[in-house]
Amino acid sequence: MIKFTLIVLVLLASSLDNLFSQENNILRNKPEISLTLIPPSPVTDQITLDIRAGIRNNTDVEKSLMVTFYLDKEKSRAILHQQKIKIAPQSVSSVKFPWATKNNVGDHKIILVTKSNNQTLRMERPIQILSSAISSTKKIDGAWINFYHWSEAEGQYWNPEIKKMTDAQWGELITAQNSLDMNVIVVQEVFRNQEYSGKHTIDQDGFKGLAFYPSDLFPERVPITAIDPLEAVLEAADKNGMNVFMAVGLYAWFDFSKGSLEWHKKVASELWEKYGHHPSFYGWYVSEEQDGGLGDEQDRENIVEFFRDFRQYVHQMTPDKPIMLATNSHNLRGAEDTYRKLLPYLDILCPFGFHRMPANELTGEEAAAKLQSLCNEAGMHLWMDMEAFDFFGPDNALVPRSIDGLLSDLHRFPNFEKILCYQYPGLFNSPEMSIKPGGENTVKAYLDYKKYLDSIQVPAKKSKKNASKKLRNK
């Protein structure tokens, strides 16, 4: 009887340990305050910064808080915005406001302070504001990464090597990307499922995709060497002060059905639980993409409903973190009304393909202007997904685009507040990398772009108003 009792006590203690461990993990993934700048540093003095705070009440009583944002110092004259809010028990709230960067050139920090009766919390983010005549920084601000390219034909020059990359080498790659000031990372997908909208039987047969990370929802894995490349990327991004868009996908290409929505909700929850404690976890990226015309009538209805519901769901976890979608820039005529319905449920639209518009279409500049007008109307952000590749050979293999091609896009499209590229792995490689997927052409691409970057890098000039301000670390 004593032996039985001891066994029961051991099992009970083990269960309690697991319970406390799960509870601590959940709490760890739910920081009480968070601060997001859209876009992240650096930016030019020709944009309006979208400043957001996410605030969580982990207690069982309502909280009243004073939320204050400061520029550089916690002084009354440095207050940018102040607001009193109430948060229900076990719930979240957000505070956001726009701030024009004009006349604020220099290195700054945005400070968030929340005060309740018995607690004061602080968080800050650096923001470098560059003097410019245009919105764009004229450089590649970030890049997509893909742990294994979906097409063996397109990825034939790098897939065999990327497949071998260890967790440590993924961390090495992220540090190398940061050395080019590409401090935004967009994870392309966290599941491989090469299915297409309207041509699959997922609703009947279940999701058969393979995970790139240790998923409890769908444990079958893509056969790559890395054990948890997502964790490796986020750890390296934390160390380098980078910003990671977490992919939620891929369910099926271009699929925004109700089944896809429910799948995305489950995956988003798991990703937040596993990785939400990382400071570099910046926002959400829905991987399914879409044509610029947003599909047929049913597709258009689906995509609006999808993002309306998905936004509401993820904002219960991450009220300040942006949601991004990448579409192409083609076939925009006739889709304007759908964009007007869709864009209020997005934070960032990041279209691609402006340099290869189809015949009898808008020019790249006209497409950029049309999308900018729609985004301005919705009060959201337009970034660019710049293609850093050319198609080569009979299989349309992806190879590094020439530096002239990259510079053409960087200078043709001045309105984008951020320009990201697809993609970094397999198209750029530092000569210091221990593994170089894509070969020597990728090292040349890295060095050619680094030479351009060095030629335009000038220290941000501080305005006279802020010349004497010194930043302090907390």
Give the per-residue pLDDT at 473.
33
Tokens of 143: 């890049």
Distances (CA, A) of 371 to 294, 330, 362: 13, 11, 12
Least Cα distance to 41 among 54, 51, 53 occurs for: 51
14-68 pLDDT, tens per residue? 433 443 333 334 434 467 999 999 999 999 999 999 999 999 998 999 999 999 9
**Burial (Cβ within 10 Å: 0-12, 13-18, ≥19) of residue 365:** middle
User: 113-150 burial, b for 16+ CB within 10 Å, e for fewer?
Assistant: bbeeeeeeeebbbebbbbebeebbbbbbbbbbbbbbbe
**pTM to 2 decimals?**
0.90
Q: What value does the mean pLDDT of the chain take? A: 91
Identify the pLDDT of residue 118: 85
Secondary structure in 3-state letters for the chain:
CHHHHHHHHHHHHHHHHHHHHHHHHHHHCCCCEEEEEECCCCEECCCEEEEEEEEEECCCCCEEEEEEEEECCCCHHHEEEEEEEEECCCEEEEEEEEEECCCCCEEEEEEEEEECCCCEEEEEEEEEEECCCCCCCCCCCEEEECCCCCCCCCCCCCHHHHCCCCHHHHHHHHHHHHCCCCCEEEECCCEECCCECCCCCHHHHCCCCEECCCCCCCCCECCCCCCCHHHHHHHHHHHHCCEEEEEECCCCECCCCHHHHHHHHHHHHHHHHHHCCCCCEEEEEEEEEECCCCCCHHHHHHHHHHHHHHHHHHCCCCCCCCEEEEEECCCCCCCHHHHHHHHHHCCEECCECHHHCCCCCCCHHHHHHHHHHHHHHHCCEECEEEECEEEECCCCEEEECCHHHHHHHHHHCCCCCCEEEECCCCCCCCCCCCCCCCCHHHHHHHHHHHHHHHHHCCCCCCCHHHCCCCCCCC
pLDDT > 70 fraction of the chain, expressed in percent and rounded: 90
Q: What is the pLDDT of residues 229-266, one digit of tens each?
A: 999 999 999 999 999 999 999 999 999 999 999 999 99
pLDDT at position 439: 96
Contact 252, 208 (CB under 8 A): no
Amino acid at 229: P
Q: Measure the N-to-C terminal CA separation of the chain; round to a whole number of Å.
A: 57
Q: How far apart (Å, rounded) are the C-alpha atoms in residues 55 and 219? A: 33
- Going along the chain from its start, the domains and CATH numbers come out as 33-130 (2.60.40.10), 142-456 (3.20.20.80)
Assess contact for 419 and 177: CB atoms under 8 A: no
Q: Which of residues 28 and 420 earns the better pLDDT score?
A: 420
Q: What confidence score (pLDDT) does residue 252 get?
A: 97
Q: How would residue 398 be classed by pLDDT, with cut points 50, 70 and 90?
A: very high
Whether pLDDT at 155 is above 60 = yes
Phi, psi of 122 (to 5 degrees): -135, 150
User: Apex CA 47: angle with CA 43 and CA 50, to 5°?
Assistant: 85
Least confident of 6-10, 50-54, 159-163: 6-10
Nearest to 409 by CA among 42, 138, 124: 138
Can you give the pLDDT at residue 390?
Answer: 96
Task: Reply yes or no: is the peptide bond before residue 42 cis, omega within 30 of 0.
Answer: yes
Supply the pLDDT for residue 472.
31
Q: What is the pLDDT of residue 459?
A: 56
- Ramachandran sector of residue 106 (left: φ over 0; alpha: ψ -120 to 50; beta: rest): left
457, pLDDT greater than 90: no
Handedness of CA 284, 286, 289, 295 (dihedral sign): negative
pLDDT tens digits, 327-385:
999 999 999 999 999 999 999 999 999 999 999 999 999 999 999 999 999 999 999 99
Q: Give 460's contacts (C-beta < 8 A, 6+ positions apart).
A: 42, 105, 106, 107, 128, 129, 130, 131
